[in-house]
Amino acid sequence: MRTGVFVCWCGLNIGGVVDVPRVVEEISHYPGVARAVDYRYMCSDPGQQLIKDVIREERLDSVVIAACSPGMHEATFQSVAASAGVNPYRCEIANIREQCSWPHQNEPGEATRKAIELIQAAIEKVRGDEALSALSIPVTRRALIIGAGIAGMQAALDIAEAGHEVVLVERLPHIGGHMAQLSETFPTLDCSQCILTPKTSEVGRHPRIKLLTNSEVESISGYVGNFTVRIRRKATYVNWDLCTGCGLCTEKCPSRASSTFERGLVKEPAISIAFPQAVPHKPVISAEACGHFTKGKCGVCEKVCPVGAIDYQQQDALFEEKVGAIVVATGYDLHPKAKVGEYGYGVYPDVIDGLEFERLNSASGPTQGQIRRPSDGKVPKEVVFIQCVGSRDQENGYPYCSKICCMYTAKHARLYKHKVSDGQPYVFYMDIRAGGKGYEEFVQHATEEEGVLYLRGRVARVFQDGDALVVFGVDTLSGKKVEIRADMVVLATAIVPASGAKELARVLKTATDQYGFFSEAHPKLRPVESLTRGIYIAGCAQAPKDIPDTVTQAGSAAAKVLALFSAERLSHSPAVAAVDEELCSGCGVCVEACAYDARTLDTRRRVAVVNDVLCEGCGACAVACPNGATRQKNASRSQVFSMIDAVVG
Amino acid sequence: MRLTRDVVSGENRRKLRDISGEEVASCYQCGKCSAGCAMTGMMDLLPHQVIRLVQLGHIEEAAASRTIWLCASCLACSARCPRGVSLPNVMESLRVTLLRPGERHLDPAGLPAEVLENAPEQALVAGLRKYT
């Protein structure tokens, strides 16, 4: 074996702690090492050239790079090795930065000893590395997008416009998401529907977008470039192919259901279309409220429907779609009412949340856009807005900032003032976070020009006293406790992941954080990629964000999908598990151990097999195998033992 | 402290705005005025706290502070204010709200002879202005 060892200083990151010249001196005497060299920045162009030169001069067959985490530069150094004729899978990284110089900054002597041992272990590993070639897999150039809010719609349109087919799945009967519920949008105060409907109608009529509303993803199998998705289209009890959306059924329906779209502020017919601009503009029967289903009596809609579209016997339908990439755009919900007891949320009808305020202010909402409080329809003259309800509250809610509430509360207060000019809006806040183009100016306008009074402090409690809601708060700027007799209280409740997000993550075999927001592969450099290859994230599914950020991220996710689709074939790491069929007893322990569905049993031959392209090379199956039949390529048992010997021996 | 729309955006607040020509709502309470004020050692309320009370509509409380009389109108605060609020104008308007009703009087004859002899003339002039 002729191994070259290249030790990087990484400026002072490694060189300031580890005695690099001593490491090079020690390692150059290690068995199998043809030459050991150091360089200040190994990842730089001259550093890479140095590696290539030494490979050629010493006729190396393997290299060890002692530098930063393989997550940073493994790909760089593998390609350098390959360009000089060394198999890239015979290039190992010894991480002497994240795993050595950084954590041991105060013990330079021990850090130097550890760096030597880590490099020796890597030399032992590379000694057993096989020369492998990357696997090649085909790509289905079709995308699945889960969620048809503004994020999902934007990603769908961008991918479809680029010429690829898109399957857009939405669990509600209509598309548009929460943006369809908003009255106006900050910081320009343009009408939400006015800027949204061009997109919803474009999605509705796009020849390359297959829209499946009232549908949910049930299961997913396969891998990047080759997913198979099972989708359940829930029964609407209306044949949408026949239905013209005339609305006669809705007019005549005698049963009432609480309107989800209107946030429970009004009842709607049991067969209804959520809002006038809904796409698709077709009704759905709520089986929980419909007289036909609950009492077995009514059949009014069936009688009045001029085209015979009502179908009480309709069943859920299952579809299977083949796609190459998936974008998760499942959006958000608001912090549940039951959890904000001190503000009487869910108890007093005039304590509402931000989305309810949007509906009150919306021209198509329950009050036709007049600000009237839910309890008695009175125009509220004193309105208290409370920010950070559940947000930035690790004891009773969530430690994170929900990001959009400062802006939408300023918007609400301003819109309220536009409609109730003699009313007084008060905003309780902790900090005003208005980072964004035109955002700070928007908030300042609220205080300066529109008479919104900002009070810095949290509200302790809200209680009903006769006609009024008494708000106990504080203004920490003046150091005074504040009491306001309000007519209505609007809570900026925390943004939480859409219900079912964690379950969906399990189906997709990707990760969420502890709250259920989908995890990105890297918080700065790979913000739209999930931890699973071929699955991307957009919008509030990842973290709270506003419409401009959501649209930006959706476009970025679409660009990632298009980059994937532009490849002829995809490559996959060949460092995967392999089975020695002579030793395999077909017990199936490896199948249980695999987190990626890469292991299956060949029942006919009674041996376990590996689906190479699904295998992520984690090694769980190799460890679980009771008779040593499963081998992890380039991480074999003998390699691991000699690595341990190199460290402890 | 009870807040209502009559307190926050009522007549008093409007009057003060008319006298001072200043929109105190612009102030975002950064405190730069107080940080640079030379008189704060003597003040009961810091300049930005006076502005805050005005924002809340609690004009009487602001006007009752020593601060408005200690302000020397040196303009260091307004020269530095990032929101363009002229604090000296607000201080003056608060003083004016007290002076206009003409309910406070300084009777020079009633002052002890010791004070009359020792007090600087400027102090007597200022006293006559403050209590006239």
Instruction: Give the 3-state DSSP-derived string for chain B, with helices as H, strands as E and coil as C.
Output: CEECHHHHCCHHHHHHHHHHCCCHHHCCCCCHHHHHCCCHHHCCCCHHHHHHHHHCCCHHHHHCCCHHHHCCCCCHHHHHCCCCCCHHHHHHHHHHHHHCCCCCCCCHHHCCHHHHHHCCHHHHHHHHHHCC
Query: DSSP for A625-638?
Result: -TTS-EEETTS-HH
Q: Is A381 on the interface with B (CB under 8 A)?
A: yes
Strand A453-456, strand A424-429: pairing: parallel
Q: Which residue type, as a one-letter code, is found at position B96?
A: V
Q: Would the pLDDT of A616 be above 90?
A: no
Enumerate the residues of chain A whose CB falls inside 8 A of the CB of residue B3: 426, 453, 482-484
Give the Å distances, CA to CA, from A453 to A337, A484, A561: 26, 12, 46
| Residue pLDDT, tens place only, A144-190 | 999 999 999 999 999 999 999 999 999 999 999 999 999 999 999 99
| Residue pLDDT, tens place only, A585-609 | 999 999 999 988 899 999 899 999 9
The CATH code belonging to domain A576-632 is 3.30.70.20
- Taking CA–CA distances from B4, the nearest residue in chain A reads A484
Q: Is B75 on the interface with A (CB under 8 A)?
A: no
Distance in Å, alpha carbon of A400 to nearest chain B alpha carbon: 24
**CATH T-level topology, domain A3-128:** Rossmann fold (3.40.50)
Q: Do B4 and A485 touch (CB under 8 A)?
A: yes
**Options 3.50.50.60, 3.40.50.1000, 2.40.37.10, 3.40.50.620; CATH of A143-229+318-331+498-565:** 3.50.50.60
Which pLDDT score is estimated for B125? 85
Residue B3: which of A447, A477, A482 has the nearest Cβ? Answer: A482
Share of chain A above pLDDT 70, in %: 100
- SS3 call for A102: coil
Q: Would the pLDDT of B130 be above 80?
A: no
pTM for the model: 0.88
Which residue, among A214, A280, A263, A288, has the nearest Cα to A271 in the 3D structure? A288
Q: Is A482 on the interface with B (CB under 8 A)?
A: yes
Q: End-to-end CA distance of chain B: give it in Å, rounded.
A: 31
Confidence of residue A341 (pLDDT cuts 50, 70, 90): confident
User: What stretch of H or E contains A387?
Assistant: strand A382-389
| Residue pLDDT, tens place only, B63-86 | 999 999 999 999 999 999 999 999
Task: Average the pLDDT over A489-502 and give the result.
Answer: 97
Is there a common fold for A143-229+318-331+498-565 and A334-496?
A: yes
Q: Would the pLDDT of A575 be above 90?
A: yes
Residue A2 CA to residue A60 CA, distance in Å, equals 5
Return the number of CB contacts < 8 Å for A and B: 53
Q: Do B25 and A447 touch (CB under 8 A)?
A: yes
Domains and CATH numbers, chain B: 5-101 (1.10.1060.10), 104-132 (no CATH)
Structural domain spans, chain A: 3-128, 143-229+318-331+498-565, 248-304, 334-496, 576-632
Half-sphere CA count of B50, side-chain side, radius 13 A: 30
| Residue pLDDT, tens place only, A503-562 | 999 999 999 999 999 999 999 999 999 988 899 999 999 999 999 999 999 999 999 999
Per the model's pLDDT, the better-predicted residue between A211 and A395 turns out to be A211
Distance in Å, alpha carbon of B132 to nearest chain A alpha carbon: 31
Confidence of residue A454 (pLDDT cuts 50, 70, 90): very high
Contact A88, A80 (CB under 8 A): no
Which tokens sit at A257? 């259901």
Q: Which residue type, as a one-letter code, is found at position A441?
A: E
Enumerate the residues of chain A whose CB falls inside 8 A of the CB of residue B8: 424, 426, 451, 453
Interface of A with B in 443-462 (CB under 8 A): 444, 447-448, 451, 453, 456
Q: Do B3 and A456 touch (CB under 8 A)?
A: no
Q: Would the pLDDT of A615 be above 70?
A: yes
Enumerate the residues of chain A whose CB falls inside 8 A of the CB of residue B9: 424, 451
Which pLDDT score is estimated for B2? 92
- SS3 call for A452: coil
The overall average pLDDT reported for chain A is 96
Which pLDDT score is estimated for B132? 66
**CATH T-level topology, domain A334-496:** FAD/NAD(P)-binding domain (3.50.50)
Q: Would the pLDDT of A649 be above 80?
A: no
Which residue, among A597, A620, A624, A623, has the nearest Cα to A509 in the 3D structure? A597
Confidence of residue B123 (pLDDT cuts 50, 70, 90): confident
Which pLDDT score is estimated for B100? 84
Q: Do A423 and B5 touch (CB under 8 A)?
A: yes
Which residue, among A343, A328, A326, has the nearest Cα to A389 in the 3D structure? A343
